[in-house]
Structure 1
Amino acid sequence: MSQRSKRKEEHLALTQMFFNAQKTNSFDQVHLLRPALPESRVDAGSIKSSWFGKELAAPFFINAMTGGSEKSRQINQQLGQIAAKRGLALALGSASILTKEADQLESFYVAREADPDGLLIANVNPLTPPADAARIVSDLKADALQIHLNVAQEIPMPEGDRDFVWLDRMQEISEAVSVPVIVKEVGSGLDPVSLRKLQAAGFSWFDIGGAGGTNFAQIENSRSPYPMNYLNDCGLPTALAALLASPLTDRLIVSGGVRNPLDVFKGLALGASYVGVANHFLHTLLNEGAAGLDEEIARWQEELAAIFALYGQSCLPVKQPYYLDFELMNQFDQLKKFTGK
């Protein structure tokens, strides 16, 4: 097994070691005003959506997890099968490994084989050569491409990158591919200053990837002989990142610590068009198998439709009044000047 594949499998193990189903996060500081008279019905059609020209059964999706090793091949095959059955979009983990190890293509492509007509999103890092990014999109028959931002992961990573001059290279990738591009943070939150820079450079879809779920700084520190544990809390909480981003874009994806259908609904209420879920689904898959994850996603779809009815929503987008705990409101008040609004 190559060093890159070994790291992929270490990440899978460490995400589960640090997983805490009872962990609180910034979603708990967002509260929804519930109508006592919602005048609504539970309807599975209320949560249906479309994205990049494909119809979806729900506005939440399976976000980027893995690829590039034998274990991740098995995971991506199962995720593809479940996405096809439940009508969900699926984002694959970083495929940048394919620039060095083309033989790992199958560990990603199994998802497309399992879901030939579904919405599949590829993922690369900003240093991926544009021609390679275009080839990855073509080989995976991807409908969109995530470019991930993970500086807070790379810094403590023993073999991490040290070149973060990315924007021009990201533009070159965007110009080289023929599908929509999503800029995705990886668990540390997309700040409004960077979002505005990305907009000026021509990007329009953003996954804020906030703090509150998988902490890749913590994961890399656990792998390092010289850990920088003081960086474990450098992230921007998911709900705060959403509050700061929503005035700037209507093409917003909220992810980072999504634990249940109510978190999905809160993400939509905070301005998301779609909500990404990664480690919670991965934990279920690894502990309860594909059947367990399939059952959970079916239950999430049913419960999200019920929550729509509970709060008087009959369709997307969600327009739901909310209020914030003082701590989150105070943070937002301090930072909203950076939105330029």
Structure 2
Amino acid sequence: MAHTQTPTADLATDVDDVARLLNPDGERVADPDLDPWVKDVSVDTLRGLYRDMVIVRRIDTEGIALQRQGQVGLWAPCQGQEAVQVGTARAFRDDDFVFPSYREIGVNYVRGAKPADFVLAWRGEAHSTYNPYEINTATPQIIIGAQSLHAVGYAMGIQRDGTDQVAAAYFGDGASSQGDVNEAMVFASSFRAPVVFVCTNNQWAISEPVTVQAKFPIAGRAPGFGIPSMRVDGNDALACLAAMRWALDNARAGGGPAFIEAVTYRMGPHTTSDDPTRYRDRDEVEAWRRRDPIARLEALLRTEGAFDDEFVAQVAADADAFGADVRAATLGAKTREPLTVLDDVYAEPHSGLDEQRRWYGAYLDGFADEEVAR
């Protein structure tokens, strides 16, 4: 007879039942599932992960400040989630293709996004800011969970091209309740598509806790679709790197899809239009603050004797420079003529787009007539 358990909310939020390589104090711990995937990781690699996370946090801080100053319309903060994003993204090859949500600031940074790419869409100056094919990363998806279907479709195309690329989709714990994510896993499993699902379980889907989304760990759903899964400490950049290397290797070897649940916490609001103090307990936030992913990696580097003043100063300078470039790109943005909103919508011109351009042009001309009348 199969062993059964009574579902409880505690299982979904258990932060100890995760695979990890660094404990909250930054001490290196062994894990038989993860250790084989980080044997080659050097101190320089660890320093690189640290630098990436510090810069990502600075981008995030700058974005929030710009929104509060009225320079961008909205911002989706990622503070606390830097290890998930940077750790997993550093495992990709350049030719892999990534499908992020609107919160993957760290993924986009690692993939090569430029300072302007983080702000122009939120400012309303561009449809998407970057060209997806320049950094092999799809435009950030606002529709919750839709990117999971896009990733699987791309992965099925990879199969037919006969290459060993891999696609990956990032989404949150709330999105795991969407039909899109579950449908994507059905297709991925049925076709053994080379795709990795990364569920960033940050404990909150806007104002709903993960206990409303799941009574068991979310990673436990994937095996029901025939997809191997791993539940990792999302505040441990080294564990996230290892988990993604495992998933990518599985896909490249023809093993099909894999699922990673990274257990972390959204330290800030869902977006800058949200007030998390209305639904979150302060003690809960402070408990997670003590699990900070950047401080954790800093502790390891100090143990390794690799966290000296020169390194700290260089990282701070790099973060300041990138943050300044983000601000400059925002303040220096030039609003295009209204009619250009129809540019670059389709790869080739067609009659429907021409008709929209004529209609919108006439509409804009009407405002010109009003100006003359005044």
Give the shorter-chain TM-score range: 0.3 to 0.5
Larger radius of gyration between Structure 1 and Structure 2:
2
More helix by share: 2
User: With structure 1 as the length reference, what TM-score do the two structures score?
Assistant: 0.33
Choose between structure 1 and 2 for higher RCO, CA contacts under 8 A separated by at least 6 residues: 2
User: With structure 2 as the length reference, what TM-score do the two structures score?
Assistant: 0.31
